[in-house]
Structure 1
Amino acid sequence: ADKASVARYLGGNIKTALAQKPSSFPQQLLTALRSLVQNEYRLNNPECGSDGWLTEDALWLISKTTADRVRAWLLQHGVASVPENNNRLFDELLTHQLIVANEDKAIWRCIIRSDKGWSPVEPLTLLRLTPSVIWGQDDQRPACFDGDVTPIIEAEPAPELSAPTQPLPEIADDPRLGDNNNFLQWLKNHTSPSTTVNTRNGKVHVVENHLFLISPGIFKIYASETTGDTGDGWKLAQRMFQESGLALRCNDDSFIWTCEVCAPQKKNSQLKGFLMEAPGRVLGEIIPVNNPWLKLVPAME
């Protein structure tokens, strides 16, 4: 009787549901996800054997397990139009915004670390959901995971930099680009500890309890979004930042620091950028863990 009731709601292929108006496929997917997570999934096991992990801002579910079980659940309840291929199913979840995209992809590769010391040998492939997709305001959520879920960033080529000690070309003195209060406020508004820090191709990372800003990428985005400048305006913003006292010196000649990217199964590469003390000045009270795949190269005297 329960299965028939659910099938009627989902527009499943049973006689008692023929007179019902079929619900949309996004609603069918959502119902399957909610039922699995709320009634069947084991979350937040501090040692092993979890189907997912709930953090303050995200619900992380094992990707293949979830795809297979969503498909099985829908078929069991009479919904036949389910993609047989997991990638197609992931595309459906992305298209209907039931999962959070990792840029243009469904899959996130993450390191899981329990406060009790447990961590998988290899990073896991996960789907990321907004918790409110699964639990409404009146639903009781499980307690958050006692540990960390850290997305892995992919290495990107080290950007070309203008050496701080070299003369910079003539730049229009746009007060919006040269005002560090403007830059800091923009950085606060555009930086989220849960979605933009320590991410693949992200421009802001936590390294050795400092904030690492990849340059020139962060300043190019700032200049473009603040003034629409896609030329050399970023150089003024970078120059004013390095002269503001907010940036730590790498040595007597440079403010530019280097981080080695040590991602699994990737050739080591480097990122260049600025280092700031007190990440809370930008990130607030929630400070992500240090990015495990970035290693700061010691400053040369």
Structure 2
Amino acid sequence: MLSLFRQKRQKPPPPPTVNLAEGYLPVESPQSLLAAEHRRQLLDRIWQYTALSHPQFSQLYLNPIHRYAELVQQLPASETHHHAYLGGMLDHGLELVACSLKLRQSYLLPTGAAPEDQAAQTDAWSAGIAYGALLHDIGKIAVDLLVERQNGRVWHPWQGALDQPYRFRYLKGRDYHLHGAAAGLLYTQILDRSILDWLSGFPSLWGSLLYVLAGQYERAGVLGELVIQADRVSTAQNIGGNPSKALQAPIHSLQHHLISGLRHLVQHELKLNQPGAAGWLTRDALWLVSKTVTDKLRAYLLSQSIEGIPSSNLAVFDELQSHGLVESTPEGKAIWTALVAQGNWQQTFTFLRLQPALIWGSEDRPEAFSGTVSIATHDHSTDTDTLVPTPAPETVRVGSDHSQPQPEPMALEDADYLGSLLDMFELEEREATAALSESADKTSTLPSDDPGQVFLNWVKEGIRSHKLIINDSKAKIHTVGGTVFLVTPGLFQRYIQEFPCISLGADSAGEEWRWVQKQFEKLKTHKKRDDGLNIWICQVEGPRKKGTLKGYLLENPALLFETGPVPADNPFLKVE
């Protein structure tokens, strides 16, 4: 897929010859702006999520993205908050598109419509969500910035793309509420008439998109929720959990209440650094037992008559992470698993990891834990957890601070940029299962005399409706060697989670997925190795880790892709 973009990409046209004055930025072509490696990766990931042919993808996604890049150039997304560097607006827009499309895969839209109507509108809803995400902050360049051409004339984005070198500064006293309203000045420069004509044919989608573009997210339904959630995670990822920013939260905000509650609990109620404690303080991190502390935090905030407190611990984790109050794991999760050891005592816990400065500020903090905190790292190739011993005084800090006095281009040496951003959107299996529950009853009533075929039909329908993703870092289905690779045991376990009563023939609890796997093997639709074995091994070489996957290779990929071409091979997988 990467190679296809590179083959199709035309050489950027040479910019007009202009003597660039000091302090001005050159105008770049969209091709040049999007040629950065991290942006190419985002474009590839967006294409994977759409499952469109290249001509369709170019028309519906690449062309609007090119127009967006041409308009925003190297402007930042904010002055001192998130993406506050040259090119930040473009990066933020691409991140939002990728993230919102990933989240969209867990939804059947429009909600409540007949399955055939949902199938017919799949591409339109995906595109509408992507457009809402791309244009989420576009109004900022119209009302927050003063942009001056090199000839001294002020540039306004409704005049069209910049045609001269430029410089900019942020306006003082700007009204942040104008961001959504100002989008109406610009979005027709990004979305052409044919796209608007197409979208207007879907009334439910059209209304939601118009509300998003006007900044009225409370009226935009699922589309608005997806854009907001993608924006929160992209923002938190870029800020990197910087406590100095978190502590600047308005006094009546949920973020402020969460910080105050955590400070109260740690300083007045929780035991630290001993067996039976709810937290351990190392030199560079505070480890809080996730369930215990979150239960106490919710109870404390409710006792203070604070409104808007999330009703579940999962929602609290999401709030803490989205506001950058807790550090994320390398996989982008809020919850860490670690072994605490001191002397002859040791115990494994699930933790929230905070920076101590968030709790104590400049006050004297307790002494650091004299034992060790060993982080459990998950090896996807073996499905086992390994503990990486980490002496308490040397605990590695996760996160970074992108805030700078002057905007500068993003450092491309941040090797984990794309992986950590997109992994933050990996939903828990039970969340994905809940989102698919609408089709559960229908599938479970299929004829049970051939359970292997029922499973295969479920896979085919999941791919068609985008309920099952392919060629993603956490996908259970990949294309490799010109055919389809089904990951075991992950795909079969996902099937059992969705339909727990479908494998009554299993010998014992916990073995249901093996029973389904055997029924699939009886179909004889998979390739066998030269030694007669069924399971193949794929080597995985991703941007952040290497490993192996085990699974089945189909003899005929058309079994799952009857109406369209088989997607390009996953470039990170290779069959042994």
Give the alignment's TM-score, normalised by structure 2. 0.24
Which structure shows the bigger proportion of residues in helix conformation?
2
Larger relative contact order (C-alpha < 8 A, sep ≥ 6)?
A: 1
Give the alignment's TM-score, normalised by structure 1. 0.44
- Larger gyration radius, structure 1 or structure 2: 2
